[in-house]
Chain A
Amino acid sequence: MTSAPENRRVHLPSGLVAEYLCKGSGPPLLFLHSSFGRTWTAFLEQLAKSFTVYAPMSPGGVEPMELDSFDGFNDLALFYDDLIRALGLDRVTLVGHSFGGMAAAEYAAYFPERVLKLVLMDALGLWIDDQPVADIHTVGPAKVPALLFADPAGEAAREVMKPPSPEQAGEFMLRTQLAQASAIHFYWPIPDRDLVRRLYRIQSPTLLVWGAEDRVTPPVYAEKFATGISGPTKIRLIEGAGHFAHVEQTRAVVDAIGAFAGETTLSAA
């Protein structure tokens, strides 16, 4: 029997309001979503069996005016730190996907002592000149599914890209447009804000979960993260998955995170 997550709001000392979904029991896990917005997926549902999952909405995802208070990832890191303090948490397992992975890595670089363990899933944030990050915002709608998914015609692609029903098409389009606007606010037109210079500050054990067929940030980016991060790192490539590994191969990603969280020590990759 599953139940819906609780939808909560908390007023932060900055005057901003954070909105988040919460469910589960166990150690705290903060999940930062991608530019496709936040939905309570099977992935989060399964994590909630082992963790108390907090899934905040990225600022501006519903009300774009909020973005006036955010000029860059430094503001975003402060926002998440205010949230973590407001939740009364000391150290968290931090999981971020794509744009959320970029935000999670930035947070872990600014506040390394607050991150117990870090999980970056198909994260943006780095740049390799001869293997540039693909841009789903400019390739044209017809080419997006093949960039994002190992199986562009599969169930996962439908779940991420299509409204749940035709009646919800307008609402879905509005939500997706606002989510993408609020994400690219931080990294347009190239998702590189010199994070590579700050990676050394990340001290926590870090798991890099990557779709083996990620065509947005190919697995070479997992290696670049692993090279720069000071804490022990481990790369877990997920077969049969693209940029949304946790949606295309949910079980494998949940198991990988579960195993990683249970480890007390990690050898360097």
Chain B
Amino acid sequence: MKLIFFHMQGYRDLPDNFSDKYESVWVNPPTDELCDPVMEGQYLRWNLEEIELAARLGYDGVGTNEHHQNAYGFPMPNLTAYHVAAVTKDVAIVLLGMTLPIYHPLRVAEEMGQIDCLSGGRLVAGWPVGTSMDVNHCYGVTPTQTRGRWAEAHDLIKAAWTRKGPFVWNGKYNKLRFVNPWPKPIQQPHPPIWLAGGGSLETFELAAKENYTYSFLSFGGHLAGNDMMQQFWETNDKSGNDANPYRGGFAQIVMVADTDQEAERLYEQHVKNFYMKSLHVAPQFAVTPGYSTKRSLENSIKKMQAATAFDPAYRRAVTWKSAIESGQVIGGSPATVRDQLLEASKRMRIGNWILLMQLQSMPHDLTNHNIRLFAEKVMPHVRDLWDDEWDAGPYWPSGARKPKLATEAAKSRATDRVPAE
């Protein structure tokens, strides 16, 4: 399996009364009151150090995502990716953003092309539709145009990467005389394209049709997400595709300590903090008329669910115990974590684990501890799953080699970085 250290780059210090005092963690949390630019600079440094540590310790990939006007995410993952591309050698760079509907597609084609060139072909090009908060409320895209803009950007970027240019593009949203991005990516025919979402049927169908990896992103964990992944595989099977587990990705909070008790002691406050504050999204931002298709809307009304990954149920007061029982967190001793990870991998056929190992308030040292323990005591026991049966090749960047294990990596730490000169 592929183990991806994934950093959401959240703001680490929100006030204790955040959820009572402020309406939403997203869109309108007042920046002037909550976000200190000097502290943000410190956090950004820590984020990069944590990502680099994971790369050195042998994680298959490192990644980050994109959110806007949001206290638990960060807006420009491509900037992070560019830095990581410069200072690492083997690791895959899993860029789950850029959020296509809010960008000029040529800009995405060029920026991702540049990252792929600098990294030597290590880019995973994640193209999320984006949440309604990001796309409609922060960037002002008309909700009913969200999917149309995504679809045209998808077609245009792919064409820009694969067709001989310059060529003319006469779309609904983009009219261009000269499509001729400079540079194009190293990877041929293009970097692996990953879709990411909260379980909409249309996205499952697109992934199946185009042979893209689909990653289910939620904070509900491996038990709540089980039905969604079953639906994904059913859609995939129906279209006649093989059952390669590298078609599937799953985001999961993972926290390792020396013992189960120690994990609870170290991480519980951060889990509580995260669920209470980061999922505090105002409902009017999460469910915007026109963002979902009619079919998805009917489906969610039928299930009497909000059409969003930000289900209020996740926001209830969690404890370490409840988070473990519900599957929201895979956490505990190395043995506990590897058993649960293997069980969930096989049950949901997950080839790519998007490991959420830094939660908002977690300090730098504790995050590093989590990254190290996982690399040393979990990774060696789980990483070979699937590899005797399935090839990650079509879904994994061609320039990313299987990195060394943590123990070997520790020995060669000094040489695993590109010289700074």
- Enumerate chain A interface residues (CB-CB to B < 8 A): 60, 63-64, 67-68, 137-141, 170, 173-174, 176-182, 184-185, 188-189
Which has the most chain B C-beta neighbours within 10 Å: A63, A140, A177, A179? A177
**B136–A67 CB distance below 8 A:** no
Q: A137-B288, A173-B301, A188-B143 are in contact. List 20 more A-B contacts (CB 8 A).
A: A64-B293, A67-B144, A137-B284, A140-B23, A140-B284, A141-B284, A170-B301, A170-B304, A174-B297, A177-B289, A178-B289, A180-B290, A181-B289, A181-B290, A184-B143, A184-B144, A184-B289, A188-B136, A188-B140, A188-B290
Contacts of A138 in B (CB 8 A): 137, 284-285
Cβ contact of A178, chosen from B145, B283, B294, cutoff 8 A: B294
Contacts of B288 in A (CB 8 A): 137
Cβ contact of A189, chosen from B23, B140, B284, B297, cutoff 8 A: B140
Residue of A nearest to B141 (CB): A188
Q: Which of B132-159 contact A (CB under 8 A)?
A: 136-137, 140, 142-145, 148
**A140–B297 CB distance below 8 A:** no
**A189–B136 CB distance below 8 A:** yes
Query: Does any Cβ of A come within 8 Å of B298's Cβ?
Result: yes
Contacts of B301 in A (CB 8 A): 170, 173-174
Query: Does any Cβ of A come within 8 Å of B302's Cβ?
Result: yes
**Closest A-B pairs by Cβ, 9 of them:** A181-B290, A180-B289, A181-B289, A185-B144, A188-B142, A177-B289, A170-B301, A189-B140, A140-B284
Instruction: Give the complex CA separation of A182 and B142 in angstroms.
Output: 11
Residue of A nearest to B144 (CB): A185
Query: Does any Cβ of A come within 8 Å of B335's Cβ?
Result: no
Query: Does any Cβ of A come within 8 Å of B344's Cβ?
Result: no
Cβ contact of A68, chosen from B148, B294, B297, cutoff 8 A: B148
**A170–B302 CB distance below 8 A:** yes
Q: How far is the CB of B380 from chain A (nearest CB, A)?
A: 49
Query: Does any Cβ of A come within 8 Å of B86's Cβ?
Result: no
Query: Does any Cβ of A come within 8 Å of B409's Cβ?
Result: no
Q: How far is the CB of A192 from chain B (nearest CB, A)?
A: 12
Number of A-B contacts (CB under 8 A): 61
Query: Does any Cβ of A come within 8 Å of B373's Cβ?
Result: no
Instruction: Give the complex CA separation of A138 and B133 in angstroms.
Output: 11
Contacts of B304 in A (CB 8 A): 170
Contacts of A184 in B (CB 8 A): 142-144, 289-290
Contacts of B282 in A (CB 8 A): 140
How many residues on chain B are close to A (CB under 8 Å)? 23
Which has the most chain B C-beta neighbours within 10 Å: A68, A139, A176, A181? A181
- Enumerate chain B interface residues (CB-CB to A < 8 A): 23, 136-137, 140, 142-145, 148, 282-285, 288-290, 293-294, 297-298, 301-302, 304
**B137–A181 CB distance below 8 A:** no
Contacts of A176 in B (CB 8 A): 289
Instruction: Give the complex CA separation of A182 and B143 in angstroms.
Output: 10
Instruction: Give the complex CA separation of A181 and B296 in angstroms.
Output: 14
Residue of B nearest to A189 (CB): B140
Cβ contact of B144, chosen from A64, A137, A139, A140, cutoff 8 A: A64
Contacts of A141 in B (CB 8 A): 283-284
Contacts of B283 in A (CB 8 A): 140-141
Q: How far is the CB of A37 from chain B (nearest CB, A)?
A: 11
Residue of A nearest to B298 (CB): A174
Residue of A nearest to B24 (CB): A140
Instruction: Give the complex CA separation of A180 and B287 in angstroms.
Output: 12
Q: How far is the CB of A72 from chain B (nearest CB, A)?
A: 10
24 A-B Cβ contacts within 8 A? Answer: A60-B144, A63-B294, A64-B293, A138-B284, A138-B285, A139-B284, A141-B284, A174-B298, A176-B289, A177-B289, A177-B297, A178-B297, A179-B289, A180-B289, A180-B290, A182-B290, A184-B142, A185-B143, A185-B290, A188-B136, A188-B140, A188-B142, A188-B143, A189-B136
Instruction: Give the complex CA separation of A141 and B23 in angstroms.
Output: 12
Instruction: Give the complex CA separation of A25 and B282 in angstroms.
Output: 47
Cβ contact of B290, chosen from A63, A64, A68, A170, cutoff 8 A: A64
Contacts of B298 in A (CB 8 A): 174
Instruction: Give the complex CA separation of A181 and B136 in angstroms.
Output: 12
Instruction: Give the complex CA separation of A176 and B289 in angstroms.
Output: 9
Residue of A nearest to B283 (CB): A141
Contacts of A180 in B (CB 8 A): 289-290
Contacts of A181 in B (CB 8 A): 143-144, 289-290
Instruction: Give the complex CA separation of A67 and B282 in angstroms.
Output: 27
Contacts of B293 in A (CB 8 A): 64
Instruction: Give the complex CA separation of A64 and B294 in angstroms.
Output: 7
Instruction: Give the complex CA separation of A64 and B295 in angstroms.
Output: 10
Residue of A nearest to B140 (CB): A189
Contacts of B289 in A (CB 8 A): 137, 176-181, 184
Which has the most chain A C-beta neighbours within 10 Å: B143, B284, B285? B284
Q: How far is the CB of B88 from chain A (nearest CB, A)?
A: 40
Q: How far is the CB of A145 from chain B (nearest CB, A)?
A: 14
Instruction: Give the complex CA separation of A67 and B145 in angstroms.
Output: 9
